[in-house]
A and B are shown apart, each in its own frame.
Chain A
């Protein structure tokens, strides 16, 4: 088992880090960007596109870079380090990933090329007010045949749903859950956008006899594609969280070194430094599991790990990150004291973002539940396939 990056991967990491730390030099810059719709910065998005980052996971014939999960992980982690609000995981890994996995050759070329160039930002409209973390669609239904379909129902909250240039919508079809493309100007489409607590954006998206184009085979059940793509996005979210947790911890330790009370630095107090040590332990354990999940995903492309193994690895990563993110986020604020509560200071925003990621695509309890369902199938958990 080898967790090391190669030199090209290190170069990618350094380039993305340089771009993002320049774009988000202070938390005030991020705060200003997230106050304005769409909640992220178009210039930064274009720069990411120019660097090739937005087409990273897509095949070259579809207009992408043909890179893999390791490169996606690197970018996601850098996004997390500065909690850049650009929707890399949501638009590229998740929504783009669905098109890559389910789309026809024409759809892939048309959509993914535009995503890679930064000109088209898609969103996956899946969560329904009553669906919790289920991967099936029930509240939005599709009817039609051939290329002529319409959708009815409500999706909410849809991350990035108001700004999206293209909606990829899951909807109930005969025998399962299908995927459909809906354009922003479609008849009977109502999008009501709002801000989320982490500076992001979400929307209520209502469909009323709204025309939609099947993604891939018309009327087919795409549950397997959804599950596989969601697993990839869960792992990428894990990396985004790692970046955020690392910064939250570093910010906290810097504060303990510099902030003085009773005439001495806070790091004089063992009650505080021991808690920082525990945060480090949480971070390193989460890093191990998330990095391993990426290795499991890497091996799926050669067929040496199965879809079920990837889904399980994603659940394991998401559970570990859920626990670590809560621990580190909560302690980062507590060890700062009052300043950590303020919107002007960075650390609270990190906790907010970690909380948002935790509740996207399944929180720790949800994934623990999934692991419980296969508890009796193995004697020990062996990290090797």
Chain B
């Protein structure tokens, strides 16, 4: 048992801290610190700065730009990034489609997509959920029917029809990775394939969904007789469910948003120091102080649990405790966004205030952020799904 980082890991932490606080465009970090939405250009600039330094996709195989880091080093990379107000690399590229292509794609498909995916030259969207396939993802109904008579090289084309939904930032997407039904005659999990689709193809329509915070973050994506070259299939036909499970389960570093939640709480505490009547400190209010101290302690417990999980993750398989991190991590993330609204008090109502307003910006964004982060306990396997996994896989309680 040992508390301190090794000299090597301590130096690594320092190196990451220096990189993230000096090499990422300042306007990106300022926008994150202001809890405002990043533009597409800002996200791309941030990823490309990381990729230029070779640290945008450390979880990938080394030959495709990954790093031979220990799980602890990847954890440190992820934490230092968030503490420095740097947005993590676009998850659709870095944590989702990239690892799937690297693990299951042909050499040709890897060469075609992986370098551009790492550098965010291609912006990927995720096409998994459907209106009738949420937590029950395997019941998806978008179909891909092979037409062997067309396309180049005799491989034929898939003709795709259906609707995807909750496609985050799909308005920026160049390509979309989808789960499509290629065999309707077998058990629902066995007839699904993993198909890459160019979003500029005829028949693809992206429609915005406005959310409760007034923002446009997610979309519906419609496919009407979209013709997709068969070479865009990843791996084998009808094995898509296995790849999807790999995708959803292969990340355990960064499952819990520890660094960003810590940073937001620290920001809330700083804000509280002058948010009382007449500019007094709300930290002198015992109820506020107790709530913040308690949240700090809960986040510490979460961070230490994340460290325990990464320390025991040598085998590369999903750790069941990842569900604990996702569940508790999003609960705390939401609790801190809620705290910010309470600290803003009546100023939380001024969400629409623009220039000339006397309300501090952090108070204006408090409620939209609070509303927006209700999503966190729903996406990535809802927290009820996580409880199901803990009860079933860890505790052996199978109904």
Q: List residues of A whose CB falls within 8 A of some B CB.
A: 1-6, 9, 70, 249, 253, 256-257, 267-270, 273-274, 276-278, 280-281, 284-289, 291-292, 294-296, 298-299, 304-305, 316, 319-320, 368-369, 371-372, 375-376, 379-381, 383-385
Contact = CB atoms under 8 A, between A and B. Distances in A.
5 cross-chain pairs, A with B, having the tightest CB-CB distances, nearest first: A288-B304, A295-B3, A277-B390, A273-B391, A285-B301
Contacts of B327: 281
B277 to A, nearest CB: 19
- Give the most central of A253, A288, A304: most B CB within 10 Å: A288
Interface stretch (B41-49, B159-167, B244-252, B286-294): B286-294
Contacts of B112: none
A9 B1 CA distance: 10
Interface residues of B, number: 51
B39 interface: no
Given A285-B301, A371-B296, A379-B266, A298 B324 contact: no
Interface string B364-398: 00000000000000000000101110111011111
Main secondary structure of the interface of A (DSSP, over half): helix
B305 A284 contact: yes
Contact of B2 (A2, A281, A368): A2
B336 interface: no
B24 interface: no
Contact of B397 (A5, A9, A276): A276
Contacts of B350: none
A319 B297 contact: yes
A294 B386 CA distance: 30
Contact of A376 (B262, B283, B324, B386): B283
* Main SS class of interface, B: helix
A66 to B, nearest CB: 17
Contacts of A376: 269, 273, 283
Given A320-B301, A368-B294, A380-B83, A281 B1 contact: no
B35 interface: no
Contacts of A375: 269, 283, 289, 292-293, 296
B390 A294 contact: no
Contact of A278 (B293, B305, B387): B387
Given A368-B290, A371-B296, A267 B3 contact: no
B395 A276 contact: yes
Interface string B293-328: 110111111111101100100000000010010011
A273 B397 contact: yes
A256 B396 CA distance: 10
Contact of B296 (A270, A278, A287, A381): A381
A249 to B, nearest CB: 8
B185 interface: no
B324 A284 contact: yes
Contacts of B100: none
Contact of B1 (A298, A304, A385): A298
Interface in B1-19: 1-5
Contact of B395 (A277, A289, A294, A304): A277
Nearest to A299: B3
B153 to A, nearest CB: 50
A317 to B, nearest CB: 9
Interface in B252-274: 262-263, 265-266, 269-270, 273
B308 A316 contact: no
B4 A288 contact: no
Contact of A267 (B2, B294, B387, B399): B399
Contacts of A9: 1
Contacts of B328: 281, 285
Given A267-B398, A292-B3, 14 more contacts: A9-B1, A267-B397, A273-B387, A273-B397, A274-B384, A285-B328, A288-B307, A295-B3, A368-B290, A369-B290, A372-B286, A376-B283, A381-B300, A384-B3
13 contacts: A2-B1, A3-B308, A256-B397, A285-B298, A285-B328, A296-B3, A372-B286, A375-B292, A379-B269, A380-B263, A381-B300, A383-B303, A383-B304
